[in-house]
Structure 1
Amino acid sequence: MTPTDTVRCGVFRPGEPGYAEECFSFNPNHPLEPAVVVAAETADDVAQAVRFARARSMPVAVNATSHHVVHPAREAVLVTTSRLGEVTVDVERRTARVGAGVRWQQVLDEAGKAGLAPIAGSAPAVGVVGYTLGGGLSPVLGRSLGYAADHVRRIELVTADGEQRVATPEDEPDLFWALRGGLGNFGVVTAMEFDLFPHARFHGGGLYFPGADAAAVLHAWREWAPTLPEDATTSVMLQRLPPLPALPEPLRGAFVVHLRFAFLGTPEEGERLLAPMRAAAPVVLDLVGDKPFPAIGEIHLDPTDPIPHHSGAVSLAEFGPDVVGKLLELAGPGVDCPLLGLEVRALGGALDREPSVPNAVPSRGVPFLVFGLAVGGPESRDELAGHLAHVSAELRPWALPRRLPTFLLGDDVAEDRVRAAYGAQYERLAAVKKRYDPENVFRFTHNIPPAA
């Protein structure tokens, strides 16, 4: 029997037309090479694909927008969910229901028509479901409202037995807890419903400073960021940009400090809050302004095209003068640093508070997050991954073990590091895994094996 005998949608095997397109990965350094691909068009297709896999003792992998591929899934049935593209906004209830293949920009645009906003991330091209299952850190709403996972109302999924289930606070409450923060360990999500919020605009964007002034900017930022109200969010990144024609002339091939800022109040109040940073050093490019909420991608200006890259992240307990000094030593002026960027995000606010319906997001109480990004293919993996590991090692004196799941990158997907990232929540997640996936069918994400 073949998948086409049981599944009424596209089925692709290695070497066949369409296989490579279904196995697309946003990061070519992490390709997908499954034994067979099922291109699901409905939740029933997903269920049939899982049943086919289980009847043959094959594991199951999932791919929607491929922004966070961890393993190649060579022996697996890969279920692609990009065709599950429904977006429905209920203006009266202030909710959105989305299919598993939906990207944040689609929700931003649809909700924005009604002056509503989701807790979307810095890269609107990223898929809604994967981002939310990993917690979901917003550059605009996070500090005032918490993680995206905190505001999910309903999750529709197919579990390892091939059954379609609905998880809510009332139905399958343990599964609902684990899904929100536990990534893809518990099934194939086919749809999700979550809250929207009455924000039509924000004041924000980026300020770029000369890299030569990195010390002044970082020290000013470390004193300024803790003074911000919860409806303001900021991060700062040391960037060594390539000489690409698409970049504005002041940034082309330049070493700069990119300050990111977003505020939910008036432009006048936003400018008052931003004034200390404008005074920290000369600004070479000012992209801050009053913007419609669907334009949140203009804050970080993350890449939208696939690019081979390596990345890593560290949670920090503090961001004091010693940490600034270490970052300057690692990536400051005059340093031969191969990273495209080294970023610090200020968290806090509602990100520290448990939501009304608790979930498995393990990073509450983490005040700062450092993220490193390097561009390069497999041939440069040892050098770039080694440098990212060096950054992590140098920051270890200030590091915290708890991590935001979507920032478990590179070697951090190893089981011992995943266990450390979840801390006390890990055993409960493993128990839920044992109940819903005792054979560890879904093991190609940041895997949490079932409890013994």
Structure 2
Amino acid sequence: MKHADIQPLASLVEGPVLLPGDDGYDDERSGANLAVRHEPDLIVGAARAEDVQAAVRFAAERGLPVAVQGTGHGFAAAARGGLLVTTRRMTGVEVDPERRRVTVGAGVRFEQVIPAAAAHGLAPLNGSAPHVGVVSYVLGGGVGLLVRTHGYAADRVRSLDLVTADGELRTVTPAGEPDLYWAVVGGRDNFGIVTRLEMDLVEVARVYGGGFFYDAEAAPGLLGAYVRWADSTPREMNSSVALIPMPDDPEVPEPMRGRHVYHVRIAYTGDPEEGARLVAPLREAGPVLMEMLRDMPYTESGSIHDEPPVPVPFQRETALLREVGDDVVSTLLEHAGPQAPVPCVIELRHLGGALAEAPRHPNSVVHTDAPYLLSVVTLLFGITADDTRPVYDKLFEALAPVTTGASLNFLGHGANAGAERVRAAYDPADLRRLSELKAVHDPRNLFRHNYNIVPADGGPAAAK
């Protein structure tokens, strides 16, 4: 493709239109995971909904597959060829305090929404990292910081504007287009590109939050103790635990430097005194290296997990677990603990609570009964994804008897974006319905560089 070929499109678009080799092409295609990048024939940096429409029409006329990227945290299948639409320039945020709602553009991050909502004593159901984009996170389910108290973020979607495969801009609501709403809220970018999303906020102004750090060697039973503790807590208590190999780096606090460290994270929405009482047993689970717990405004809740906002190369695999007993704990530590041949971060997020409640408006997000979400992550510094493969394969094979599916928010990329992993994110009946709706709204599978749902009556496969 040459610049003369894209001039008609560039004349319609406010944002940049880029070909490989153009200044800005590499930055535009990069996301949060440096281990993988899109390699499109063409990029459209959309600044408005009309830009997205023009890009989709251009691609459809030429039979080009379409990918979309906001912040790049929800990376799935890398686009090899085709057209990539980036939405990071679409950053409008409007809070309606009377109706307790927020409307966001397609490129908005939660770090923009949180302070805007906090001015009215409200909060979005964001994840643990506020620099993640809103749209992809919410439409993938939204396993948030307050998931036990308030459920999936997806359950709060009120309406969205969607550019479908024909290039039309449609406003989708539960009442106006219930089937398409059901499909998009859970099916993400399989049915079009969202340019605007409206969702409910919750009345949360502060949390009792922070965490405990333990030396894993000095607290060998910490993982099991955490699970037993978490299983006894009320829905106002949101928590997770991670086993982290800390680097021997001067920027790491001295008590944790060069050690495997357990980090228990807390976000309690109730009274801070009651929160302090509830977490007291954790102090007896092992010697505490550091304790960082306090009553904090919700605007500071990103400090609880304190996830770095800088892009890094990493490999991640996840599973939803139907139970976490002593045998599961032993399996995790055996395959991915301190003695693993590659360094692994093991994280367990406690679910349940409000997830048991049916959403006000049905959507295609499932697996609401799993009590824990497991993530295993390896930073690829001097390590390749192939190096992690034997470790991850053995771990997840051993965990298969207690695995009950996967979360779309955490599937990962490459092989983890393939058909088998996509099936794990849905109920079989729901996946059939999604496939049938895909055949209605995108029969040529234009939107296939993603966690792809193939049209029921055929169409190009995701890898093509």
Give the corresponding residue for 2:421.
417
- 1:226 aligned to 228, 231, 254, which one? 231
Distance in 2, matches of 1:70 and 1:405, equals: 10
Distance in 2, matches of 1:87 and 1:130, equals: 16
SS class of match (1:274): helix
1:405 aligns with 2:408: yes
Give the corresponding residue for 1:210.
215
Give the corresponding residue for 1:369.
373
1:350 aligns with 2:343: no
The answer to whether the 8 Å contact 1:30/1:71 transfers is no
Distance in 2, matches of 1:36 and 1:204, equals: 44
SS class of match (2:425): helix
Give the corresponding residue for 2:277.
272
Q: Write the deviation string for residues 402-441 of structure 1: whole angstroms up to 9, x where unpaired.
A: 2211122242321123123312210111111111111101
Give the corresponding residue for 2:462.
none
Task: Using the TM superposition, name which of 205-214 and 375-384 deviates more.
Answer: 375-384
Structure 1 segment 43-442 matched on structure 2, within 5 A: 43-139=49-145, 141-332=146-337, 335-376=339-380, 380-400=384-404, 402-410=405-413, 411-423=415-427, 424-442=429-447
The answer to whether the 8 Å contact 2:77/2:451 transfers is no
Distance in 2, matches of 1:205 and 1:389, equals: 33
SS class of match (1:49): helix
Task: Give unmatched runs, 5+ long, in structure 2.
Answer: 458-464
Q: How far off its partner does 1:31 sit?
A: 0.8
Distance in 1, matches of 2:267 and 2:212, equals: 11
The answer to whether the 8 Å contact 1:86/1:102 transfers is yes
The answer to whether the 8 Å contact 1:29/1:377 transfers is no
The answer to whether the 8 Å contact 2:57/2:166 transfers is yes
Distance in 2, matches of 1:363 and 1:259, equals: 24
Distance in 2, matches of 1:202 and 1:95, equals: 20
Cα gap change, 1:174 to 1:291, in 2 (>3 Å): same
Letter in 1 for 2:409: T
Task: Using the TM superposition, name which of 365-374 and 335-344 deviates more.
Answer: 335-344
Q: How far off its partner does 1:184 sit?
A: 1.3
Letter in 1 for 2:422: V
Q: How far off its partner does 1:181 sit?
A: 1.1
SS class of match (1:67): coil
Task: Using the TM superposition, name which of 34-43 and 61-70 deviates more.
Answer: 61-70
The answer to whether the 8 Å contact 1:3/1:49 transfers is no
Task: Give unmatched runs, 5+ long, in structure 1.
Answer: none
Letter in 2 for 1:316: L
Give the corresponding residue for 2:42.
36
RMSD (Å) for aligned C-alpha atoms: 1.5
Cα gap change, 1:314 to 1:339, in 2 (>3 Å): farther
Q: How many equivalent pairs are there? A: 449
Letter in 2 for 1:100: A
Give me the TM-score of the superposition, normalised by structure 2. 0.94
SS class of match (2:304): helix
Cα gap change, 1:245 to 1:239, in 2 (>3 Å): same
The answer to whether the 8 Å contact 1:314/1:371 transfers is yes
Distance in 1, matches of 2:307 and 2:235, equals: 24
Percent identity, please: 43
Q: How far off its partner does 1:234 sit?
A: 1.1
Q: How far off its partner does 1:377 sit?
A: 5.4
Q: How far off its partner does 1:214 sit?
A: 4.2
Q: Write the deviation string for residues 198-231 of structure 1: whole angstroms up to 9, x where unpaired.
A: 1110001121011114432122112111111111
Q: How far off its partner does 1:93 sit?
A: 0.9
Cα gap change, 1:379 to 1:320, in 2 (>3 Å): closer
The answer to whether the 8 Å contact 1:310/1:385 transfers is no
The answer to whether the 8 Å contact 1:214/1:328 transfers is no
Q: How far off its partner does 1:395 sit?
A: 1.3
Distance in 1, matches of 2:243 and 2:22, equals: 44
Q: How far off its partner does 1:169 sit?
A: 0.8
Q: How far off its partner does 1:71 sit?
A: 2.5
Q: How far off its partner does 1:26 sit?
A: 1.4
